[in-house]
Structure 1
Amino acid sequence: MDLLFIADPLESFKVSKDSTLAMMRIAQAAGHQLWFCQSRHILWRDDFVVADCQSLVIKPSSTTWFDLGSAESRPLNTFNAVLMRTDPPFDIEYLNTTWLLSAATRQGAKVLNNPMAIRDHSEKISITEFPELIPPTLITRELSAIEVFHQEHEDIVIKPLDGMGGMGVFRVGPDGLNLASIVETLGENGARTLMVQRFLPEIALGDKRVLLIGGEVVPFALARIPQGREIRGNLAAGGKGVAMPLTDAEKKVAERLAPILNARGLFLVGLDLIGSYLTEINVTSPTCFVEITEQSGFDVSQCWLTALEKAIA
């Protein structure tokens, strides 16, 4: 099969733990042909959505770990699968790319995750579809609404809707210290919408990443555990990643959502759970393949490839 990966520059990959690279390695080992481009190289030309792409060979070396072939222009519907793996932020150019990918799906391209489904699932707001699974949550631009929420719950977390890796996440305790200043700064004086949630002390045991692949639940989660005085478990914010089997509560949430999301074209999903609460549904470029595989022995990449081959057969 010919597999096109749309991703960030290869030079930016963290070779030791990049999930996209893990996908590439397992697909190449199975005999599939890899192709690569960045989202900027997806374009509409001569009545087709095409990729100005290059063939890709993954090498064993951790320094010069890839070789790229000469540039080619190919319609997206000539690939067996197109894997959208560009990292957030979900800005206007990301949105433009999804519109082009939607046009490609109308021409017969198999794009995973489905671009329309990506657009319909804000990674933070999408949890509101399942209110019985989420902690007390407020989404607003208004400082006054956040102040009322804080008075009710006392200990809260505030974060921007377009953040990733724990960037811009603040905790405000019962004293309300700097609440107005934090909201004004994060919300750019009411210009940006914020998410506010009751602080969950279960974060001390980890912010769990649970992977859904092809409608099935990976049986191990990566608990991203805050270190020191930090409240953020995100690995990018210094959290410690520990793979562990899903609890019964986590498995129940995941098994409920897996078939729903897969039916919408969300082939690969990363649920974020704190305790038994659902806090995010990640659909752009879910990660943690390598950490879970190395610590648990469950081969997430092989699971992904098996499901991919089945989905595009």
Structure 2
Amino acid sequence: MKLLFVADPLHTFKTYKDSTFAMMREAASRGHELWACEPQDIVWQRGGQVQAQSRRISLTGDEHDWFEELEAAEITLTSMDAVLMRKDPPFDAEYLYTTHLLTQAEREGAKVFNKPQALREHPEKLAILEFPLYIAPTLVTRSIEAVRAFHATHQDIILKPLDGMGGMGIFRVKDDGLNLGSIAETLTKDGQQTIMVQKFLPAIAQGDKRVLVIDGEPVPYALARIPQGGEVRGNLAAGGKGVAQPLSESDWAIARHLGPILAARGLMLVGLDIIGEQLTEINVTSPTCFQEITQQTGWDVAKRFIDALEARVQA
């Protein structure tokens, strides 16, 4: 197969932990052809098809100079067997425009994973609203007064922007309410920007679990990202320690319920974030933790993903 990865610049990859790299490595081991581009390389013009200035690469096996460019060419997305949208957030206007171009490529016959329409319809913080049975007390608002009322009810809360990643912009306010007004004003930009507020879950001490679901089927191990050094955030990017562990009974229940629903919408790869028994986010843009789970358990996540991709392309 010819695979086009729409991703961040290749030179920024941390190959020892990057899940897109793990996908590439597994695909290359099967003889698949690897192409890569960035969102800004994708263009469309009337009378033609969606194209991208892309590079065909091979993997060198070196940790730093990890790829070699074999050729550069402007390719039509329909000439690829699969297009994998792996651009990291933020989910901003440019990300949204890229998904529209990818939808046009689908109209022309390209196969895109995850499906661009599904990416647009499942913003990672807000997608949990569809599944209230599994989530903690949650408020979505731009009203500072609503935030104050939520805090008065729940006492210990987490506030976070809707477009962040890696734990950026997350604040905890305890029962003393210290700095609540300032934090709410800053995050909402004085009531002009919508945020999410959730009841603080003490189970974060045991980790913010990343549960991967591939084509509707849960990976049997989660990566518990455990906060370190007094941090409230477990995100690996915020210094959390990743510990792989078997899914709990509640993890299985959540993943088995959501997995088939999301897969049917074209979300072949999903990362569920679970604290204790509560679902906190549904990650669809570029779910990660492949390598940490595989290294610690021997369960090959990238192999399962490429198996699923091959099956989807051949269907």
TM-score normalised by structure 2 residue count: 0.98
Give the corresponding residue for 1:56. 57
The residue identity in structure 2 corresponding to 1:70 is: E
Map residues 32-181 of structure 1 onto 2, 5 A cutoff.
32-45=32-45, 46-181=47-182
Shift of 1:51: 1.2
Distance 1:105 1:288 in 2: 28
Q: Are 1:30 and 2:30 an aligned pair?
A: yes
Q: Structure 1 residues 41-50 or 164-173, which shifts more? A: 41-50
Give the corresponding residue for 1:294. 295
Distance 2:64 2:239 in 1: 24
Shift of 1:190: 1.2
Distance 2:134 2:238 in 1: 25
Shift of 1:266: 0.3
RMSD value, Cα: 0.7
Distance 1:54 1:162 in 2: 29
Give the corresponding residue for 1:282. 283
SS in 2 for 1:135: coil
Deviations along 1:258-300, one digit per CA (max 9) or x if unpaired, are: 0000000000000000011000000000000000000011000
SS in 2 for 1:48: coil
SS in 1 for 2:26: helix
Distance 2:105 2:275 in 1: 37
Q: Are 1:5 and 2:5 an aligned pair?
A: yes
Q: Structure 1 residues 139-148 or 183-192, which shifts more? A: 183-192
Report if the CA contact (8 A) 2:5-2:35 is conserved: yes
Shift of 1:69: 2.6
Q: Are 1:264 and 2:265 an aligned pair?
A: yes
Shift of 1:214: 1.1
Deviations along 1:9-57, one digit per CA (max 9) or x if unpaired, are: 0111011110000000000000000001001111103421111111011
Distance 1:160 1:276 in 2: 23
Q: Structure 1 residues 50-59 or 197-206, which shifts more? A: 50-59
The residue identity in structure 2 corresponding to 1:139 is: V
Distance 2:276 2:40 in 1: 39
The residue identity in structure 1 corresponding to 2:224 is: A
Report if the CA contact (8 A) 2:102-2:112 is conserved: yes
SS in 1 for 2:233: coil
Report if the CA contact (8 A) 2:57-2:71 is conserved: no
Shift of 1:74: 1.4
SS in 2 for 1:265: coil
Distance 2:103 2:308 in 1: 22
SS in 2 for 1:72: strand
Shift of 1:64: 1.1
SS in 2 for 1:36: strand
The residue identity in structure 2 corresponding to 1:7 is: A
Shift of 1:98: 0.3
Return 5+ residue gaps in structure 1 as ranges: none
Return 5+ residue gaps in structure 2 as ranges: none
Distance 1:51 1:37 in 2: 7
The residue identity in structure 2 corresponding to 1:277 is: Q
Give the corresponding residue for 1:16. 16
The residue identity in structure 2 corresponding to 1:168 is: G
Q: Structure 1 residues 288-297 or 187-196, which shifts more? A: 187-196
Distance 1:147 1:54 in 2: 51
Distance 2:106 2:156 in 1: 45
Distance 1:216 1:78 in 2: 29
Distance 1:7 1:145 in 2: 38
Distance 1:272 1:193 in 2: 21
Give the corresponding residue for 1:211. 212
Aligned positions, number:
313
Shift of 1:70: 2.8
SS in 2 for 1:311: helix
The residue identity in structure 2 corresponding to 1:27 is: A
The residue identity in structure 1 corresponding to 2:294 is: T
Q: Structure 1 residues 206-215 or 68-77, which shifts more? A: 68-77
Q: Are 1:196 and 2:190 an aligned pair?
A: no
Shift of 1:223: 0.1
Distance 2:91 2:270 in 1: 16
